[in-house]
Structure 1
Amino acid sequence: MTFVLLAVIVQAQGLPQEQFLIYNAQIVDVLTGKIKSEMALLIEGDQIKALGDFNQLSKDIPQSQQLDAKNKFIIPGLWDMHIHLEVQGLEEDNQALLPLFIAFGITTVRDCASDLGETVLKWRDEINAGKLFGPNLFTAGLKLEGKNSSWKGDLEIENETELNLMMDKQDVWAPDFIKITDNKLHGELFLKSIQAAHERGYVVSGHVPIDLTLEEMVDAGFSSVEHASYLNRLGYDQEEIVAQLKAGTLTNAQAGALYKGIFDQQKADRNYKILGDKGLYVTPTYIGGRQIAYGDEENHLLDSMMTKYLTKAFTAEYLKRIERLKNETPEQMKERKQTYQFNISQLVHYQDAGITILAGSDGAVLNALVYPAQSLIQELQIFQDAGLKPIDVLRAATINGARFLKKDKEMGSIDIGKRADLVLLDSNPLEDINATTHISGVFTKSSYLGRADLDKILSDAREAKVRLDKSREK
């Protein structure tokens, strides 16, 4: 099936649900961590209708609607649980990259708010309506912040009245979750923001203010920490530090210095367990730290996503970061590497403590060298290198995200009645998560895309980059 035909099918309205059969497949069950005994999968429209035997399921299915998987492995479509579609003026650049996620096997993304929030909400609705081709898109739209934050496009508040007004706006926009950050939002109002969003039925995620404990945030209705470095505070006397901050006997700078002292792993593990028992999720976003820490060892100007698919305007910040890295001393780069290695060392501790891990890249215009789509695949490899079993890495990029967004009854695993977002891999991801770099095909939006179709998406992305760059030449 060609990419052109896919677009026709996606946009078709009122047509009968077409059936598609995939057989001779090794179907990965992310719930049990095993290969399913069934080797055939029948899809009707965009849902999995049956799992079973080929001879039973193939009745009345035309040959043209059957695919011999040749004993390859099928996994649920991957989820990137932290991206940003951002920067006003780069709407075309961001939109042109949406199909790229599909080519990398990523059928669902969670946009964690930006200055393009209202536009992204429209893209979400257009994707759901079949008017725009891209991954399933869940978004926070615009995030809550304090007055005069450094971020553009925030919903800025400085009291409860403004908080309630902004939440009324959110109710109209209907974001899929609420994101709250701490650039200018102090702890007391941050906590009230969590409570307000939670009381209105939203899932709440965000950063961690220095003057709040994670436990009080979770107790107020906070569901996920974005960026695992915030959890490092749990290896220190966080409660005492926060108490002194609230009492005014400690400054933020002094608190920051205390958090650079000797890390107590046993204390951290006890605190991780408390939060794991309370149901906390974390999206580590390690790839950004890795790209910067090892920026002195890699040449991103040669044969990278930046040169192939991303426009000059999109990568302007990337180039600035590359130049800044050239001025860093060997000691500074060594320290960056040590910090990165320490951060990823905590991943297995989160897992053991019951904190649910979400795979997210933080890919964005403003996050230098964190390439859209590809960076999620790199994040999965980091998880495995850090000690997670391949099945736990796969869960972090599939069912865990669905559970976080309360969509696990309809997405996130290969089961009857769930959405047919599927990726066909050449090798077994339960043995090595690197299998996700070898994609044979993707089924999504009621259609199967073979390797040639995925390559066409990549080619279209390259052409879009050239076209947009040329349109901006003076």
Structure 2
Amino acid sequence: MRRLLAFAAALAGLIAGPAAAKETADLIVRDATLIDVAGGGTVPHRSIAVKGDTIVAVGAPAEIDRTYTAARSIDARGRFVMPGLWDMHVHFGGGHELIGENKALLPVYVAYGITAVRDCAADISDSVLLWRDQVAKGELLGPTIFTSGPKLEGYKPIWKGTIEVGTPAEVDAALDRLQNEMRVDFVKITDNTLKPEIFLYAVKTAKARGLKTSAHIPYALTIQQAADAGLGSIEHLDYLIKAGSRDEAAISADYAAGKISYGDASAKLVDGFDPALARAAYRRFAAQGLYVTPTLNMSRILAYLDRDDHSHDEALALIGPGLRKTYDWRIERAAKATPEEVARRHAKYELTASLMPLVAEAGLPILAGTDAGYLNSFNYPGQGLHDELARYVEAGLTPAQALRSAVITGPAFLGKSARYGALAPGEAADILVLDANPLADIAATRAIRTVVLHGKTYDRAALDRLLTDAKAAAAR
């Protein structure tokens, strides 16, 4: 009988063949609850296999263990995994003497789970372009960088590091430089001194070249005119007050004719705001493919500088002295405001925040962005995105809507959805392991246990070292 059993076992082995060899991965994240950001739900007991900087498999723990072997693993039982966060509006700048202080902030973004940033122009674009390439090659620790390079502006602007344009030919030459020499990821256009007709020409021409655009919209134009020209994203939510104002067209015409100041125009637009008009306008913009980057927390900080004391903010320790000095400009401007102007500032912020549910209901895609960087007082790189998401929920969005704005819409805007925005085979291995569920409480995005960036693992101790090193650099 024993021989018969042995023969049967041997025969079964011959029929089954040798055991299949396991595939080699570099990392396995084991047995986590997966946050389905697109669907707004969770999938329990999922493991993720990573090879190089790419996810190669997602499945049940037993399935992944049966198929893959890896030298490194993360035990994520009882924890939550989601794609890395994107900050779609940051600034590196303040002059060439502050290049080092700006560069020191790159690991800070990583420590806060920010795995990609969209640089919206400043005055050290050559350095940012270099960092973009170094990060992509694995030569520099930092989030993936998408940048506009220097922005387009009119003649003699207040902002430094711009390309000044005033004719169609100058716009064409500027776009040649940005697209062909700098290989920018999108084009930033602002409204400080740029003529309205040149603004529209720049937007239309960039779109015709296949370039995404991001802008501050001149008050002499309606938002609809910018959308009709093919604008990609509006930077700062308060511009959308214009589109919901009963008197937008008349105020824009008066501003263009020099009959009204910016401050008075802004006040009239707030006074004339109509939610019904806004809803209709936002639906039109959504149909036209327009996005909006609210930078809501920045608006909140500036609106309430009169009463909020930031002198003891812990994150100040991460900011170098040169960058901290650039904060003074906005602080001093806010301090000069009259009581009436302060009240207007508060009212405008509250109205701006109330637009968030209207924008979401209209289907207008929201790009989570902070405006963090030089000049923008007390809006801290890294931490600022978590503050931004908290403002969205405070204003009426669900945590799921807030998460989508920081995970899905950024890649969609830049045409990178095939690579970013989900935890699936073929997607980038940019992964956050969290201690709590951000769909239940958006504050859970701060409870970061591990960051996987470009396939490399940074546990909590490593992330804390990045912050400690940044504080030491800032102190020096």
2:215 to 198, 206, 209: 206
How many residues are matched?
Answer: 450
The answer to whether the Cα contact below 8 Å between 2:25 and 2:70 also exists between their aligned partners in 1 is no
- Determine whether 1:57 maps to 2:64: yes
The answer to whether the Cα contact below 8 Å between 2:270 and 2:348 also exists between their aligned partners in 1 is no
Separation in 2, partners of 1:286, 1:159: 34
Deviations, residues 257-277 of structure 1 (Å, cap 9, x unaligned): 642433212111111111122
Instruction: Provide structure 1 residue ranges, at least 5 long, that are not aligned to the other structure.
Output: 1-15, 468-474
TM-score under structure 2 length normalisation: 0.89
- Determine whether 1:396 maps to 2:443: no
- Determine whether 1:364 maps to 2:364: no
- Determine whether 1:71 maps to 2:81: no
Describe the shift of the 1:261–1:330 C-alpha distance in structure 2 as closer, same or farther (beyond 3 A). closer
Separation in 1, partners of 2:425, 2:416: 15
Deviations, residues 284-339 of structure 1 (Å, cap 9, x unaligned): 11112212333344432224211x11111110132455566566666654443332
Sequence identity percentage: 38
Shift of 1:58: 1.8
- Determine whether 1:196 maps to 2:202: no
Once the two structures are superposed, the pairs formed by residues 321-400 of structure 1 within 5 Å of their partners are: 321-322=330-331, 332-400=341-409
Shift of 1:353: 0.9
* Structure 2 equivalent of residue 132 of structure 1: 140
* Structure 2 equivalent of residue 234 of structure 1: 243
* Structure 2 equivalent of residue 142 of structure 1: 150
Once the two structures are superposed, the pairs formed by residues 35-114 of structure 1 within 5 Å of their partners are: 35-37=42-44, 39-59=46-66, 64-88=71-95, 89-114=97-122
Describe the shift of the 1:83–1:252 C-alpha distance in structure 2 as closer, same or farther (beyond 3 A). same
Describe the shift of the 1:17–1:335 C-alpha distance in structure 2 as closer, same or farther (beyond 3 A). farther
Letter of the 2:165 counterpart? I
Separation in 2, partners of 1:187, 1:401: 27
- SS at the partner of 1:314? helix
Structure 1 stretch 308-317 or stretch 353-362: which is displaced more? 308-317
Separation in 1, partners of 2:151, 2:292: 18
- SS at the partner of 1:356? coil
Separation in 1, partners of 2:321, 2:330: 14
* Structure 1 equivalent of residue 457 of structure 2: 448
- SS at the partner of 2:461? helix
- SS at the partner of 1:423? strand
- Determine whether 1:19 maps to 2:26: yes
- Determine whether 1:269 maps to 2:279: yes
Structure 1 stretch 316-325 or stretch 177-186: which is displaced more? 316-325
Shift of 1:35: 1.0
Separation in 2, partners of 1:318, 1:166: 30
Deviations, residues 30-56 of structure 1 (Å, cap 9, x unaligned): 111111255111111111111112122
The answer to whether the Cα contact below 8 Å between 2:24 and 2:69 also exists between their aligned partners in 1 is no
- SS at the partner of 1:131? coil
The answer to whether the Cα contact below 8 Å between 1:38 and 1:51 also exists between their aligned partners in 2 is no
The answer to whether the Cα contact below 8 Å between 1:210 and 1:252 also exists between their aligned partners in 2 is no
Letter of the 1:267 counterpart? L
* Structure 1 equivalent of residue 310 of structure 2: 300
Shift of 1:146: 0.5
Shift of 1:226: 0.2
- Determine whether 1:280 maps to 2:290: yes
Separation in 2, partners of 1:17, 1:24: 18
The answer to whether the Cα contact below 8 Å between 1:145 and 1:180 also exists between their aligned partners in 2 is yes
* Structure 1 equivalent of residue 11 of structure 2: none
